[in-house]
Chain A
Amino acid sequence: MFVGRITTQMTTQQVLGNINSIQDQLATTQEELSTGKSINQPSDNPYGASLAVQLNTDLAGLSTYTNNVTDGTAWTQAATSSLTNVSSMLQRVQALVVQASNGAESPSDLAATASEVNQLTDAIKQEANTQYNGQYIFSGTATGTAPYSSATGDVYQGNSSAVTREIGPNSSLQVNADISQLLGSGQGSGDGKLLDALRTISSDLTSGTSASVADLQSNQLNNLQNSLNTLEGLQATVGAAENRLTLASTRIQDLQTSDTAALSNTEDANMAATMTAYSNEQAAFTAALRAGANIVQSSLMDFLT
């Protein structure tokens, strides 16, 4: 405060200026209280505002990863369930073939068995055509194409590319399994894989000759066993992917928690402190008004008669 001759206007303006500046402060605190944020414009804290923008971007990214994990988990769960069904059907075929290959069955029994094998074959192909959200999960990246269809016989229509989900920064995970390793491309290819084996088993059963029964016993049981091994491999791969997705989900939740905490530390108002500041400012404001009223009123005129 300047010391010297004090004029009436100076006193008035000083009082007014102080009241204005306290009111300004009150308005700022009120905004903090009503929004719950200490950063309402970038100028309130430029570094904090920029940090808040970055943290919001990070949080949006994490929620994208969460969506990806959810989507990937649905894929792997669909794959697991299909592979489990294939596995039980494969075991049923195995049992049928063992039964048929001991040579005690009549031709009509064999024909009945053949028809059951045919139905199981169709059912296995059906499982291979499982869709999630309109996408074929066993077609590689050709998700719009059914891997096996009646029109194209037993030939695999998909590709062997990996379908991946981004579950973190620079971290992607394969969520599909290459089912053509298990099913192969049918009898025509002679690849000895499951569809080839099943078709051969069916024709062996239908012909019912001793040579074909011998083929069942010597070759096809072997092929089935190999398929079962491959299937277990696929199931292990998909299971492992599912585990990684669960882990990723936990990790993302941890990151979300810490980012949200950091964001809150950056931009949220400390309510207790702000409330206290608000009460102080209000007290100061009332005092300034009261003092102003007294100061501005009194002058020498009050005491002259």
Chain B
Amino acid sequence: MEQTDKDIAREVQEGGREAFGVLVLRYQPKMARYARKFLFRGDDVADLVQDIFMKAYANIQSFDVRRRFSPWIYRIAHNIFLNAMRDNAKDRANLSLFDVDVLFPHPIAKEKTDDGAKREEMKRMLDTSLGSLAPKYREPIVLYYFEEFDYKTISQILQIPVSTIATRIKQGKLMLGKTVNPSVL
């Protein structure tokens, strides 16, 4: 039976340093995809992904093996991507210091279980238009549609309320609806 991520993380914590390579093999494609979709650039993705693994390795002893590994490493990735955006003048302008939408409660729209075909169509559509969205809408959409996390997990990664995640995904799709085929939204 294949070892779970948590088992491998525990092995690394207990001294099996080389086992970290398995986590890199498993998560490198996901991290690279997350970086490309969220940052919308390709030139420094490999370096950023390498930074994620360096940071994850340095902090592996802080990982609680009773929890899921993926939100933990995605949280590290999120922080590294935000820092990369702050270092880039063009991206920095799109980052807000404080978002009012985390302050107030919002009604949570139920998560839809789209059928496979519709979801694939949605992903294709998003692939071409994501760049027009502000990062605060783009990131939850990437995590929901491409990384296939539920709202609660996205909330753990971004550390913002579940209801704000739902609202940002909905608003992001509405913004995209003005430029693409609304029937798939």
Do chains A and B stick together as partners? no
A interface residues, Cβ below 8 angstroms from B: none
Residues of B within 8 A of A (CB): none
